[in-house]
Structure 1
Amino acid sequence: MLISGGGIAGSALAVLASSAGFDVTVVERAAGERSSGSPVDVHGRAYAVAESLGVIDRLRSAATDARELTIVDTGGDPVARMRINAARDPRHIELPRADLAAILAGAGAGDCELLHSDELTAVVDGGHGVDVEFAHATPRRFDLVVGADGLHSGVRRLAFGPEGDYVRFLGMYLAGMRTDEAPADPTRVLLYNEPGRSTTVHPATGHPMAGFIFRSTERVHHRDRDAQLALLRARYDGAGWRSHELLERYAESDDTYFDAVSQVRMPTWSTGRIGLVGDAASSLSLFGDGSSSAIVGAATLAQELAAARGTGDWAAAFARYERRHRRVVAPNVRGFGVASRFIVPATAGGIAARNLLIRVGAVFSRPGGSAPA
């Protein structure tokens, strides 16, 4: 089995498929993990998968200490507070994305062949195997190929068609970077809003992450850094709190993240011996739930492929995986509108209403709490 992508979905699938008896090769375009990108969550069924892999202690060691989301005004003073999920649920872990991928990959270290700094340039399903060409490695044939290579999946493009056929832009962008400052309070995530734009500082695990989430109808390519910076500067012109300072540091950093908030919509996640998992198949999340969905999807796919080893009916195995996992990702799709309005209200009235709801919710969540008179 060839897995394209060594991120969360790819690493989880690699260790689970290897444990099920598959010979696994992972190809990853990047030479190494980047530190940028928002912290992500492991909870629910994904937590159970992590338990089965014996990595819970490592996940907890890498976890952030964030326990509260604090909404601040332009002067940095709190206007609303709420506890985050990791503070309420002992089986909910928040940690940096790169750490999660590395821990999952480490669980299968030595059991999989790794091809770094390479990518697929052609995949052809000949019925009895998939012939694969790489940018650098020699061509090979695999029984199965799985694209776990994210929103801009190369496997999806090569096997299913152009990205534009399946990826729908939702009018929002995310950008982020790791700072070199010490967190003022490792338990608090700070969020500042103006209509249609937000600036966040997450304490992460010692070096806070600065983030920008904003609304825009303008289209820029995810690898065109000059266009990205121009759009960021235009949208954050005159923004308050620490927005200008953090944006200038973003411009000077060589380790940043920028992409559009998009939805992947596909009629099917597989064709013959080729399948997709994680964001390559279904991407839509603003609260870090994409990581848990990716882990659960990888576990479901590994289970179905393992069950088909005796018959070799891979198409049926992919279909069963898809049928089961579409039910898992459906809530993310339905909840996107609420999530986007919470993080980036489009109007001043929306910001005020969100803050009021948080304050009222905090009152009712206290023991013996009551609504304000």
Structure 2
Amino acid sequence: MRILICGAGMAGLATAIDLGATGHDVTLVERAGHLRVNGSPIDIRGDAIDVARRMGLLDRIRDRRVDMTERVHFVDADGTVLAELPGDEVSDTPDDIEIPREDLARVLYEALSPATTVAFGESIGELHDDGDGVDVTFVSGRRDRFDLVVGADGVHSLTRRLTFGPERDYLRHLGFYVALTELPAGAGAGRGNPILNWPGHLIGITRYRDTALGVLNFRSGWIDYDYHDLDAQRRIVLDAFAGHDEWRVPEILDAVRRDPELYFDSVSQIRLPSWHRGRVVLVGDAAHCASPMAGRGASLALTGAWLLAEALRAHPGDLGAAFHEYETRQRPYAERAQATAGPGGDLIVPATQEALDLRNARLAAAGR
């Protein structure tokens, strides 16, 4: 089949690899003008490790492993360590692999078949599914026809909006926002990854290799803003942390003010009763975002891509049967991941001082 994949994140790249390996003619488009690599390290967990092995990528992924989360500790306003984050609080098994986002993206990108067509700075403008194929008009004005369109374009998926309707119908806000900002050289001295909390807020530094990132989380109801408007996002973050000058808060907020690629988004999930409609199917966060609090987005991307490719191979010529099998096998992974997001938020961003004190006391006792 001629297959269009929208989005060159982890889900899109993995889907392009798996579908290309089974003989499909794959075109991959990405709205950004380059491979998207910004963000903190991500985890490969559970069955996704076996999927990476079957894809022939596990050794390359393990070679790039980091231990950022294993070095997280909570500090007070003076930077004194209060408690460390035990590994079993964030990992399923000792086999879990933490890898920089940019490293996993490059491993996947380099594994694409030479026959795969990749177009950066391109995205879909219109879709028309007539039952026999999908006519696509791209934002560049180019037109083409495909047998199948795969939406792998993330939590704010344009493919999903064009096919299933407005994002608000499927997005479930979990009550948190997250921001990541690159810190200047020298800011990451030391091995630890310190985090400072006050009720409903987290601000800290995460380090891996020669990179240091400022990470900020805060609790909030839904905020209406244009997620393409960087200045609006910057103002939201700075307002949320205004009035605090303890520890290294001013340094991290200065980085927020300067960062031309600041990452900011709501911590939200996507809940859809079905991940396909006609000849359009969704994978990864576009289908079932579990949120960063779950820490399983990359794993879901790998398993979903693999299971979709397997289902299409098992049911040639019958998209309905293939999509049913894909969803039946992938949905338990997605629902299990989504269920972990709430406890993850309570662990790292306690809502009250009492909850914060109890968390620190529990972790300190566990570390003795």
Q: What TM-score, normalized by structure 1, do the two folds share?
A: 0.92
Aligned residue among 198, 201, 206 for 1:202: 206
Aligned residue among 34, 55, 60 for 2:57: 55
- Say whether residues 1:246 and 2:252 are aligned partners: yes
| Equivalent position amino acid for 1:73 in 2 | D
Q: Give the Cα–Cα distance (whole angstroms) in 2 for the partners of residues 268 and 351 of structure 1.
A: 38
| Equivalent position amino acid for 1:263 in 2 | Q
Q: What is the CA-CA distance between 1:241 and the residue it aligns to?
A: 2.1
SS of aligned partner of 1:94: strand
Question: Structure 1, residues 262-304: CA drift from partner, whole Å, max 9, x if none?
Answer: 1111111101111000000011231421111111111111110
| Equivalent position amino acid for 1:319 in 2 | H
| Superposition pairs of residues 7-18 of structure 1, within 5 angstroms | 7-18=9-20
**2:38 equivalent in structure 1:** 36
Q: Give the Cα–Cα distance (whole angstroms) in 2 for the partners of residues 333 and 89 of structure 1.
A: 18
Q: Give the Cα–Cα distance (whole angstroms) in 1 for the partners of residues 198 and 111 of structure 2.
A: 43
Q: What is the CA-CA distance between 1:350 and the residue it aligns to?
A: 1.0
| Superposition pairs of residues 135-146 of structure 1, within 5 angstroms | 135-136=139-140, 138-146=142-150
- Unmatched 5+ residue regions in structure 2? none
Q: Is the 8 A contact 1:62 1:205 kept in 2?
A: no
Aligned residue among 66, 76, 80 for 1:77: 80
Q: Is the 8 A contact 1:4 1:28 kept in 2?
A: yes
**2:266 equivalent in structure 1:** 260
| Equivalent position amino acid for 1:118 in 2 | E
Question: Structure 1, residues 9-55: CA drift from partner, whole Å, max 9, x if none?
Answer: 01111101111111111010011134431210012111111112222
Q: What is the CA-CA distance between 1:118 and the residue it aligns to?
A: 0.5
Aligned residue among 304, 308, 311 for 1:304: 311
Q: Give the Cα–Cα distance (whole angstroms) in 2 for the partners of residues 224 and 301 of structure 1.
A: 34
SS of aligned partner of 1:203: strand
Q: Give the Cα–Cα distance (whole angstroms) in 2 for the partners of residues 25 and 15 of structure 1.
A: 11
- Unmatched 5+ residue regions in structure 1? 364-373
| Superposition pairs of residues 114-263 of structure 1, within 5 angstroms | 114-136=118-140, 138-182=142-186, 183-186=188-191, 188-217=192-221, 218-239=223-244, 240-263=246-269
Q: What is the CA-CA distance between 1:87 and the residue it aligns to?
A: 8.6
After superposition, the Cα gap between the structure-2 partners of 1:137 and 1:51, relative to the gap in structure 1 and judged at 3 Å, is: farther
**1:294 equivalent in structure 2:** 301
Q: Is the 8 A contact 1:65 1:204 kept in 2?
A: yes
Q: Is the 8 A contact 1:17 1:306 kept in 2?
A: no
Q: Is the 8 A contact 1:36 1:177 kept in 2?
A: no
Q: What is the CA-CA distance between 1:91 and the residue it aligns to?
A: 2.4
Identity of aligned residues (%): 38
Q: What TM-score, normalized by structure 2, do the two folds share?
A: 0.93
| Equivalent position amino acid for 1:252 in 2 | R
After superposition, the Cα gap between the structure-2 partners of 1:140 and 1:35, relative to the gap in structure 1 and judged at 3 Å, is: closer
Q: What is the CA-CA distance between 1:362 and the residue it aligns to?
A: 2.4
Q: Is the 8 A contact 2:86 2:363 kept in 1?
A: no
Q: Give the Cα–Cα distance (whole angstroms) in 1 for the partners of residues 269 and 85 of structure 2.
A: 28
**2:4 equivalent in structure 1:** 2
**1:366 equivalent in structure 2:** none
Task: Report the count of equivalent residues.
Answer: 360
Cα RMSD for the two superposed structures:
1.8
Comparing 336-345 with 77-86, greater Cα deviation is found at: 77-86
Question: Structure 1, residues 164-185: CA drift from partner, whole Å, max 9, x if none?
Answer: 1111222211110222334323
- Say whether residues 1:279 and 2:277 are aligned partners: no
